[in-house]
Amino acid sequence: MLGYAFRRLLGAIPTLFIIVTLTFFMMRLAPGGPFDSERRLPPEVEANVMAAYNLDKPLVAQYGDYLVKLAQGDLGPSFKNKDFTVAQLIGAGLPVSLTLGLAAMTLALLVGSLLGTWAALRQNRWQDYSVMTVAMVGVTIPSFVTAPILTLIFGVYGIRLFGIEFTLPVSGWGGGALPNLVLPVITLSLLQIAVVARLTRGSMVEVLRSNYVRTARAKGVPEHRIVLRHALRAASLPLVSYAGPATAGILTGSLIVEQIFGLPGIGRYFVMAALDRDYTMVMGVIIVYATLVIVLNFVADMLYAILDPRVRLT
Amino acid sequence: MSKLLEITDLDIRFDTPDGEVYAVKNISLAIGAGECLGVVGESGSGKSQLFLGAFGLLAANGSATGSVRFRGEEILGASAKRLNAIRGGAVTMIFQDPLTALTPHMTVGRQITEALVTHRKVGRAEAIARATEMLDYVRIPEAARRMKQYPHELSGGMRQRVMIAIATITGPDLIIADEPTTALDVTVQAQILEILRTLKEEKQTALALVSHDMGVIAGMADQVQVMRRGEIVESGPVDEIFYTPQADYTRMLLAAVPRLDRAGDLPPTSSETLLQVNDLTVTFPIKGALFQKPRELRAVDGVSFDLKKGETLGIVGESGSGKSTLARAVLKLLPAGLAGEGGRIVWMGRDLGEAGKAELRQLRSDFQIVFQDPLASLDPRMPVGQSIAEPLQALEPHLSREKVRARVRAMMDRVDLDPAWINRYPHELSGGQNQRVGIARAMILSPRMVVCDEAVSALDVSIQAEIVALIGELQKETGLSLLFISHDLAVVRRLCHRVMVLYLGRVVELAGGESLYRKPRHPYTRALLSAVLTPDPKAERARTRTLLTGDTPSPLDPKAQLRFLKSKLADESYRPRLVEEAPGHFVAEHDAIS
């Protein structure tokens, strides 16, 4: 297992290298450059700017420079947000996105697997049908619809519980204060809860039909212990495969939620940097994303081996 | 006197999209304390559902009505709590296929102690001690270490012993054993049955033995029920059922059981040699841990034989003996680059090792194969007619569509398939019909040789007998040669001129059918033959068995080959040689049989 982990990490290096290379050249193939959108500069000024950012050198030389700097951990300056380096910008945004994404994913896995298991245990009864209908609806409603609705209910009108008026902040990070997190996390997790519930129900139904669950029943083991001890672990395997890449996506791809709730995460950089041809910023974000995907997939594979003793990692 | 278990007028129905289906119709039976009831029937007879239904273990769409009394108490429709108190405690179950019937992520030890702790007030330490004792009782060596292992780390036979340990540890009054030895090797089957027999005799445990195998029932049961399509066809004491059966179906079942003492009527063979295999070796690399040299698994280790025109050579061995690998190697069907091959295969004078890809492809019209699992080896999305036609289209592309269609129809007719089914899909056919499709596909090119790789193993005995008869007829008509691979010595007996016994990739005995079955010379062959069950209760009860103890050793163990030649153990690389002890009767060297 240790040898396997070691080899996987070694294998990540060429993967990252290929991603960096492909991104670098593909981006340069796209027409336009970082300074095109602004007012047209006098040619000599433009030449100066290009020289300042080394954009006048041949592409291969620029690529070489980038690799050398990258190897030293330097992601370079941002072309658009002048006075900031890419590392600074990501360093400021990443904790926000990570908090948001991890909280949403944890919530989704907890609530989703509970709902899914419950539906599986009440298979083809009204409980099952209602959970699955709600989940189906949940999958179809995009976050730019849920977010304003939640904002209206909890932010604008407020709700009354035990005679006390509750309102939740609908915008801003507030240094990561819990009330500020509630609405964006719920918005982000609703879709995931729906997906996780459907996945869990499906695999749980299958496991509950398996021969070994029948054996456990024949042993006289009570139903709740059958679910916890014999079924849950096997039923969670498809979830592990799903949760790895999904977490990577939710950590970095929450642009809409970040925009609506005015949160300083890195989701917006993803879109904005590409549109602005902020070359270094795009590279930085891609590297972060690729690393997350690789790490989370690795974690998922390790979890798989821990959950299922038949899987041997060699 | 009140019986232990009394089932009266039991109906079991399943709610399916096609309407209600009865699995069990109006069945009544009773089992007394310490008694063994054998329930015998073919697939779809409802014999398994009967007991699952009686103890509330049906799938969600199933329902049971009638009456089930355990020690006089009505338990059909009892609360889950009441049922749980009985299941696993006073009534326990052993299922077929112990790999899927044990929870894969729990250690064997925990699965055994769970049964005990659920039903008896015992502490953890005592439970573990009792479970270890139990593993010892079912003859699992190194019980303490096995407790911490997972099911997939054990062999099939050991897994089934674990199932028995789970079913025995609470000291039940009744054990329901549902096909407990199906899919196990004969020698392992004999060991498992021995354990069940001891349980019955030592602990006075009543046994409901559900099986498709008349041989298993014959040796164990006091009373027998024969089931067919959800109903009881015949029931009575074991001797009456076996020696004076009343129902036609029972008689047919008994007649269909292949027997060691009955050779079939075999066509003559020619002296012309079709296939020559010389010192064939197949190795597979086994990946080791990090920085470890990959090891070699010798699946086939220096096998030589020849096959005459019109001859049937039986290849017999247990799981892991290399018989399927041998078949694939002979047909050049092993994945290139994955397996290492050595030795020579000569087909009608042509060395196949030297033949190029194109030549080999042409030669394939001469040798075909029929696989074990008929459903899995047919393309599920291809109509059966298309599957049969494919070899023809591939190797005789000049044929017109009409001609292909006519040949397919004629072939289907020959293997007793209705030619109108040409556009049906495999899932619409039964197992036996699918195997006929497999045979038709192999026969359509009029090959000179067909390899049958466990071609009848997955079929019910009555279907098995039909397919064996069909293969025999086809051979008589066409003068075909057959390599008939099976783990079942009795089936081989019916069809084969000569028989080769494989053990861990090596030939231990090769002889004519008569000679091998009447006078087996190698201890392994003797053990195999002695483990075969016959549908003859008196003979079964009287028989003392030569039991091999323990499991087949790992083929990776260099000493494994010397299991029957312990006197040469000093030199681990020594391989027993084949010696011709009588004309045409080759036996591997072995220590004298005591």
Instruction: Note the ipTM here.
Output: 0.80
**Residue A123: what are its φ and ψ, rounded to 5°?**
-55, 135
Q: Is the CB of B87 inside 8 Å of chain A's CB atoms? A: yes
Residue of B nearest to A2 (CA): B290
A109 in the same domain as A63: no
Pairs across A and B, CB distance < 8 A: 89
Mean of per-residue pLDDT scores for chain B: 88
Strongest mean pLDDT among B81-85, B431-435, B560-564 = B81-85
Would you say residue B181 lies in a domain? yes
Q: Which residues contact B461 (CB under 8 A, 6 or more apart)?
A: B42, B212, B213, B214, B253, B256, B257, B258
Which of B49, B84, B103, B166 to substitute to test the interface with A, most A CBs within 10 Å?
Answer: B103
Give the containing element (helix H, strand E) for B67. strand B62-70
Q: Nearest-CA distance from A127 to chain B in Å?
A: 16
pLDDT, residue B175, reads 95
Contact of B80 with B55, CB cutoff 8 Å:
no
Would you say residue A192 lies in a domain? yes
Alpha-carbon separation of residue A197 from A191, A193, B119, B242 (angstroms): 10, 6, 34, 55
* Average pLDDT estimate for B249-255: 91
Would you say residue B100 lies in a domain? yes
Structural domain count, chain B: 1
Structural domain count, chain A: 2
pLDDT, residue B234, reads 94
Q: Which residues contact A195 (CB under 8 A, 6 or more apart)?
A: A108, A112, A135, A139, A242, A246
A200 in the same domain as A149: yes
Measured CA to CA, the distance from residue B64 to residue B349 in angstroms comes to 64
- Between residues A65 and B594, the one the model is more confident about: A65
A273 in the same domain as A193: yes
Residue of B nearest to A205 (CA): B60
- Between residues B277 and B514, the one the model is more confident about: B277
- Between residues B172 and B548, the one the model is more confident about: B172
* % of chain B at pLDDT higher than 70: 96
* Average pLDDT estimate for A2-26: 88
Q: Is the CB of B290 inside 8 Å of chain A's CB atoms? A: yes
Would you say residue A85 lies in a domain? no
The shortest CB-CB distance from B87 to any of A218, A307, A310 is to A218
β-strands B340-347, B273-286 pairing: antiparallel
* Residue-wise pLDDT tens digits, A80-138: 777 888 888 888 888 888 888 999 999 999 999 999 999 999 988 899 999 999 998 88
- Between residues A221 and A9, the one the model is more confident about: A221
A128 in the same domain as A208: yes
* Average pLDDT estimate for B34-58: 91
Contact across the interface for A220 and B85, Cβ inside 8 Å = yes
* Residue-wise pLDDT tens digits, B328-368: 899 988 877 777 888 899 999 889 888 888 898 888 889 99
- The answer to whether residue A37 scores a pLDDT higher than 70 is no
Measured CA to CA, the distance from residue A156 to residue A146 in angstroms comes to 14
A141 in the same domain as A245: yes
- The answer to whether residue B192 scores a pLDDT higher than 70 is yes
Residue of B nearest to A212 (CA): B101
Would you say residue A313 lies in a domain? no
How many Cβ atoms are within 10 Å of A3's Cβ, its own excluded?
A: 13
A132 in the same domain as A274: yes
Would you say residue A81 lies in a domain? no
Q: Nearest-CA distance from B64 to chain A in Å?
A: 17
A128 in the same domain as A56: no
Would you say residue B123 lies in a domain? no
Mean of per-residue pLDDT scores for chain A: 86
Tokens of A110: 């907890």
Q: Is the CB of B149 inside 8 Å of chain A's CB atoms? A: no
Which of A291, A240, A250, A261 lies closest to A102 in space, CA to CA? A250
Instruction: Specify the CATH number for the domain of residue A111.
Output: 1.10.3720.10
* Average pLDDT estimate for B500-512: 92
pLDDT, residue B187, reads 83
Would you say residue B64 lies in a domain? yes
The shortest CB-CB distance from B105 to any of A221, A222, A309 is to A309
- The answer to whether residue B594 scores a pLDDT higher than 60 is no
pLDDT, residue B540, reads 84
Which of A212, A230, A311 to substitute to test the interface with B, most B CBs within 10 Å?
Answer: A212
pLDDT, residue B376, reads 84
Q: Is the CB of B593 inside 8 Å of chain A's CB atoms? A: no
Q: Which of A17, A43, A71 is the last residue of a domain?
A: A71
pLDDT, residue B574, reads 80
Q: Which of A61-75, A147-161, B280-294, B424-438 has the lowest mean pLDDT?
A: B280-294
Contact of B294 with B286, CB cutoff 8 Å:
yes
pLDDT, residue A9, reads 85
| Chain B residues touching residue A216 (CB < 8 angstroms) | 103, 114
Measured CA to CA, the distance from residue A91 to residue B236 in angstroms comes to 82
pLDDT, residue B552, reads 63
Would you say residue B213 lies in a domain? yes
pLDDT, residue A251, reads 78
Q: Is the CB of B89 inside 8 Å of chain A's CB atoms? A: yes
- The answer to whether residue B1 scores a pLDDT higher than 60 is no
Which of A128, A217, A233, A306 to substitute to test the interface with B, most B CBs within 10 Å?
Answer: A217
Contact across the interface for A221 and B84, Cβ inside 8 Å = yes
Which of B207, B210, B199, B129 lies closest to B168 in space, CA to CA? B199
Instruction: Specify the CATH number for the domain of residue B197.
Output: 3.40.50.300
Would you say residue B333 lies in a domain? no
pLDDT, residue B290, reads 55
Contact across the interface for B80 and A220, Cβ inside 8 Å = no
Q: Nearest-CA distance from A121 to chain B in Å?
A: 11
Q: Which domain holds residue A58?
A: 2-71
Contact across the interface for A218 and B88, Cβ inside 8 Å = yes
**Residue A236: what are its φ and ψ, rounded to 5°?**
-85, -5
Would you say residue A129 lies in a domain? yes
Would you say residue B285 lies in a domain? no
Contact across the interface for A308 and B105, Cβ inside 8 Å = yes
- The answer to whether residue A13 scores a pLDDT higher than 60 is yes
Q: Which domain holds residue B220?
A: 5-105+161-255
Contact of A118 with A126, CB cutoff 8 Å:
no
pLDDT, residue A314, reads 62
Q: How confident is the model at residue B115 (pLDDT cuts 50, 70, 90)?
A: very high
Which of B506, B523, B483 lies closest to B578 in space, CA to CA? B506
Contact across the interface for A221 and B92, Cβ inside 8 Å = no
How many Cβ atoms are within 10 Å of B130's Cβ, its own excluded?
A: 17
- The answer to whether residue B53 scores a pLDDT higher than 90 is yes
A134 in the same domain as A26: no
pLDDT, residue A93, reads 87
A293 in the same domain as A158: yes
Measured CA to CA, the distance from residue A60 to residue B478 in angstroms comes to 72
Tell whether pTM > 0.80: yes
- The answer to whether residue B240 scores a pLDDT higher than 80 is yes
Residue of B nearest to A313 (CA): B289
The shortest CB-CB distance from A212 to any of B101, B118, B290 is to B101
Q: What is the 3-state secondary structure (H, E, C) of chain A?
A: CHHHHHHHHHHHHHHHHHHHHHHHHHHHHCCCCCCCCCCCCCHHHHHHHHHHCCCCCCHHHHHHHHHHHHHCCCCCECCCCCCCEHHHHHHHHHHHHHHHHHHHHHHHHHHHHHHHHHHHHCCCCHHHHHHHHHHHHHHHCCHHHHHHHHHHHHHHHCEEECCEEECCCCCCCHHHCHHHHHHHHHHHHHHHHHHHHHHHHHHHHHHHCCHHHHHHHHCCCCHHHHHHHHHHHHHCHHHHHHHHHHHHHHHHCCHHHHHHCCCCCCHHHHHHHHHCCCHHHHHHHHHHHHHHHHHHHHHHHHHHHHHCCCCCCC
Return the DSSP state at B264: -
- The answer to whether residue A280 scores a pLDDT higher than 60 is yes
Contact across the interface for B89 and A220, Cβ inside 8 Å = yes
The shortest CB-CB distance from B95 to any of A211, A309, A314 is to A211
Contact across the interface for A310 and B92, Cβ inside 8 Å = no
pLDDT, residue B593, reads 67
Would you say residue A19 lies in a domain? yes
Alpha-carbon separation of residue B252 from A303, B256, B348, B490 (angstroms): 54, 6, 42, 17
pLDDT, residue B550, reads 62
Would you say residue A82 lies in a domain? no
pLDDT, residue B546, reads 63
Q: Nearest-CA distance from A238 to chain B in Å?
A: 15
Tokens of A300: 């998922």
Contact of A192 with A257, CB cutoff 8 Å:
no
- The answer to whether residue B289 scores a pLDDT higher than 60 is no
A271 in the same domain as A131: yes
Measured CA to CA, the distance from residue A230 to residue B151 in angstroms comes to 14
Q: Which of B100-104, B509-513, B537-541, B550-554 has the lowest mean pLDDT?
A: B550-554
Q: Is the CB of A109 inside 8 Å of chain B's CB atoms? A: no
Q: Give the N- to C-terminal CA distance of chain A in Å, as an integer.
A: 7
| Chain B residues touching residue A307 (CB < 8 angstroms) | 105
Q: Which of A40, A71, A102 is the last residue of a domain?
A: A71
A141 in the same domain as A34: no
* Residue-wise pLDDT tens digits, A154-197: 877 777 777 777 777 877 777 777 888 888 999 999 999 999 99
Would you say residue A254 lies in a domain? yes
A298 in the same domain as A162: yes
